[in-house]
Chain A
Amino acid sequence: MELTTGAGTIPGVKEGTSDFVTLQAPEHALTKTLSDAIAYARRNSIWPVMLGLSCCAIEMMGTAAARYDLSRFGSEVFRPSPRQADLIIVAGTVTKKMAPVVRRIYDQMADPKWVIAMGACSSCGGMYNVYSVLQGMDEICPVDVYVPGCPPRPEALIYGIMQLQKRIGKEPVF
């Protein structure tokens, strides 16, 4: 088989030769392959911050525990330090007193970073429409995936993380 590129067939370059391998890749081959590799790595090792605010945190722990085993998706390494994390799962009610803290944790995380609003409270305030509760954490920082439920089942959180994984490959790395 001879190599075919956008410019047409290149005669004399046969499969298995080193020229074939070098020339097979399209233009900007290096950056394209590299960004794919980086996206693959990022997608499959999203480390979340260990941030449990209320009830949802228990389900988040349940997701990481033996039955649901979040490590199948590469996200079981909960980091207490935001500087080592890629993902912030806001699990629980964000009160107005807690909001600056959540924002600060978000700011402290290194880029690239993603946010999952887990549960009704962090998505929209949930059942607490009162003076002390923030009506949705998208008021303080951007949110990538909303996971509904009060609290969401571990399956729902895993689905949310899988949705996030789908997004991660699509954005340009460079």
Chain B
Amino acid sequence: MATKRIVEHTHQSMESMSLNMGPQHPSTHGVLRVVLELDGEIITKATCHLGYLHRAKEKHAEYKTYHQFIPYTDRMDYLSPMSNNTGYVMAVEKALGVEITQRCVYLRTLLCELARMSSHLLWLGTGALELGAMTVFLWAFTQREKIYDIFEWIAGHRFTVSYMRVGGVARGDYEEWRRMVREFLDQFMNAHREFETMLNQNEIFLNRMMDIGHISGEEAISMGLSGPSLRASGIDYDARKDSPYLAYEEFDWEVPIETKGDCMARYLVRMREMEESWKICNQALDALEKTKNQPANIDNPKIIYPPKENVKKSMEDLIHHFLLASEGFKVPPAEVYSCIEAPKGELGFFLVSDGGPRAYRLGVRSPSFINLMSLEKMSIGHTVSDIVAIIASLDPVLGEVDR
């Protein structure tokens, strides 16, 4: 099995064939278009063509107030809206100099990790589906639906949640919801074991993943890879450990590392990351139980929306609500960069404020875009069928690539 799969070029053929893959292709994870140069069946060049899902998110940020932009972050990496929300509001909070409450920290940590599990489950389901394993797709989606239920109960929408707010969250959690999360976590590891039973010893799966799409640690750093793709090449970098934010420092968990840097290593890293997320979720849930009488939002009506029921009764709250909804809050002139470890890698927001209620400029360092740039390096020398496994193992989301 461990035979070298990269085929050496013994001759340079006179004619190469170019093959267009995408933008409508079942295994390009959306609207990615890759133009392949082929020598027989061997890939000699792979060029990504992007922009099929360009929705001008960064430009929108300049025309929307800080609160109005939150829904746009949902649709960036639409597999983990909670992480995107968190990344964005953390950048705004940094520019404002706002400290969020301890309870909000735990709540965000829990939801970010649930989002990571949900994102990795989709990667697992579709990745396995592309390699011919239909059952894993259905099982993964069954688990995802349970996470969606959890999101729906707390945020009101199962998919694009828009749950985080600058200075807090949209609405607090409650007893029944925490029980629901606990029920999900209690059965998750069982399902996780089932996934591993289906795939880890599966001959077809192993043959399609082992020694495919290799990238070394040095190359990974020079290409700017981040997230599980970087950690699969033996580089121990995780923003949650190396520049801690939220409550990750308090909790007991590990960063999974693999050294081989092939598709299988990336698979193993993501599978173990789900386990670690599960650990963090359990601890965050315990912490939430302990802090259940504390407020989730900061006490600053100039930034955070007042509770809706108070708006109908109190004049003060009505005024604050009106001001926030019509004009928004102003952020003092600042340039901040804030990053989180999203499921795909390091998700950074670079925010420039000129003192107004809208961002002067918002730049997004999207992990999918940068990770995707290593596709060519990974796929040269492999056969056409392998590029499916390589794209799947990189896990790009085109909403985030094109923005």
Name the prevailing secondary structure of the A interface residues.
Answer: loop
Q: B71 interface residue, CB < 8 Å from A?
A: yes
B59 touches A101 (CB 8 A): no
**Of A52, A67, A80, A127, which is within 8 A of B30 by CB?**
A52
How far is it, in angstroms, between the C-alpha of A65 and the C-alpha of B53 when the chains are bound?
Answer: 25
Tell me, rounded to whole Å, the shortest Cβ–Cβ distance linking B134 to chain A: 11
Within 8 A of B (CB), among A38-90: 49-55, 57-59, 61-62, 65-67, 78, 80
How far is it, in angstroms, between the C-alpha of A132 and the C-alpha of B56 when the chains are bound?
Answer: 7
B141 touches A97 (CB 8 A): no
B141 touches A130 (CB 8 A): no
Which residues of chain A come closer than 8 Å to B141, judged between CB atoms? 61-62, 65-67
Within 8 A of A (CB), among B36-85: 51-56, 59-60, 71-72, 75, 78-79
B75 touches A55 (CB 8 A): yes
Tell me, rounded to whole Å, the shortest Cβ–Cβ distance linking B136 to chain A: 11
Residue from B56, B60, B79, B139 whose CB has the most chain A CB atoms within 10 Å: B56
B54 touches A97 (CB 8 A): yes
Q: B24 interface residue, CB < 8 Å from A?
A: yes
Q: A150 interface residue, CB < 8 Å from B?
A: yes
Q: B159 interface residue, CB < 8 Å from A?
A: yes
A54 touches B158 (CB 8 A): no
A58 touches B54 (CB 8 A): no
How far is it, in angstroms, between the C-alpha of A131 and the C-alpha of B125 when the chains are bound?
Answer: 34
CB nearest neighbor in A for B49 = A97
Residue from B137, B141, B158, B398 whose CB has the most chain A CB atoms within 10 Å: B141
B24 touches A105 (CB 8 A): yes
Tell me, rounded to whole Å, the shortest Cβ–Cβ distance linking A81 to chain B: 10
Q: A32 interface residue, CB < 8 Å from B?
A: no
How far is it, in angstroms, between the C-alpha of A97 and the C-alpha of B398 when the chains are bound?
Answer: 14
How far is it, in angstroms, between the C-alpha of A61 and the C-alpha of B122 when the chains are bound?
Answer: 10
Which residues of chain A come closer than 8 Å to B297, judged between CB atoms? none
Which residues of chain A come closer than 8 Å to B399, judged between CB atoms? 54-55
Q: A128 interface residue, CB < 8 Å from B?
A: yes
Within 8 A of A (CB), among B146-197: 148, 158-160
Tell me, rounded to whole Å, the shortest Cβ–Cβ distance linking B52 to chain A: 5
Tell me, rounded to whole Å, the shortest Cβ–Cβ distance linking A96 to chain B: 9
Q: A95 interface residue, CB < 8 Å from B?
A: yes
Task: Assess A127 versus B53: contact at CB under 8 Å? Given A62-B144, A67-B145, A80-B25.
Answer: no
Tell me, rounded to whole Å, the shortest Cβ–Cβ distance linking A10 to chain B: 56
How far is it, in angstroms, between the C-alpha of A49 and the C-alpha of B144 when the chains are bound?
Answer: 23
Q: Mark B79-105, 1 if CB is under 8 A from A, else 0.
A: 100000000000000000000000000
B60 touches A53 (CB 8 A): no
Q: A113 interface residue, CB < 8 Å from B?
A: no
A131 touches B26 (CB 8 A): no
A55 touches B31 (CB 8 A): no
A interface residues, tally (CB under 8 Å): 33
Task: Assess A58 versus B53: contact at CB under 8 Å? Given A51-B24, A67-B141, A130-B59.
Answer: no
Q: A98 interface residue, CB < 8 Å from B?
A: yes
Which residues of chain B come closer than 8 Å to A55, judged between CB atoms? 75, 78, 159-160, 399
Task: Assess A62 versus B52: contact at CB under 8 Å? Given A52-B30, A54-B75.
Answer: no
Q: A93 interface residue, CB < 8 Å from B?
A: yes
**Of B26, B54, B56, B160, which is within 8 A of A80 by CB?**
B26
B53 touches A95 (CB 8 A): yes
How far is it, in angstroms, between the C-alpha of A55 and the C-alpha of B30 when the chains are bound?
Answer: 9
How far is it, in angstroms, between the C-alpha of A59 and the C-alpha of B79 when the chains are bound?
Answer: 10
How far is it, in angstroms, between the C-alpha of A54 and the C-alpha of B126 when the chains are bound?
Answer: 15
**Of B56, B137, B145, which is within 8 A of A130 by CB?**
B56
B159 touches A59 (CB 8 A): yes
How far is it, in angstroms, between the C-alpha of A98 and the C-alpha of B126 when the chains are bound?
Answer: 23
Task: Assess A101 versus B23: contact at CB under 8 Å? Given A55-B159, A65-B142.
Answer: yes
**Of A49, A61, A131, A153, which is within 8 A of B158 by CB?**
A153
Q: B138 interface residue, CB < 8 Å from A?
A: yes
A128 touches B53 (CB 8 A): no
Q: A151 interface residue, CB < 8 Å from B?
A: yes
CB nearest neighbor in B for A133 = B55
Residue from A54, A61, A130 whose CB has the most chain B CB atoms within 10 Å: A54
A–B complex contacts, Cβ < 8 Å, 24 sampled:
A50-B24, A50-B26, A53-B30, A54-B30, A54-B398, A55-B159, A61-B141, A62-B141, A65-B125, A66-B138, A66-B139, A66-B142, A78-B26, A80-B24, A95-B52, A97-B52, A98-B23, A101-B23, A127-B71, A127-B72, A128-B56, A131-B56, A151-B160, A153-B158
Interface residues of B (CB under 8 A from A): 23-26, 30-31, 51-56, 59-60, 71-72, 75, 78-79, 122, 125-126, 137-139, 141-142, 144-145, 148, 158-160, 398-399
Closest 9 CB pairs of A and B: A65-B141, A55-B78, A130-B56, A80-B26, A66-B138, A98-B52, A67-B145, A132-B54, A128-B55
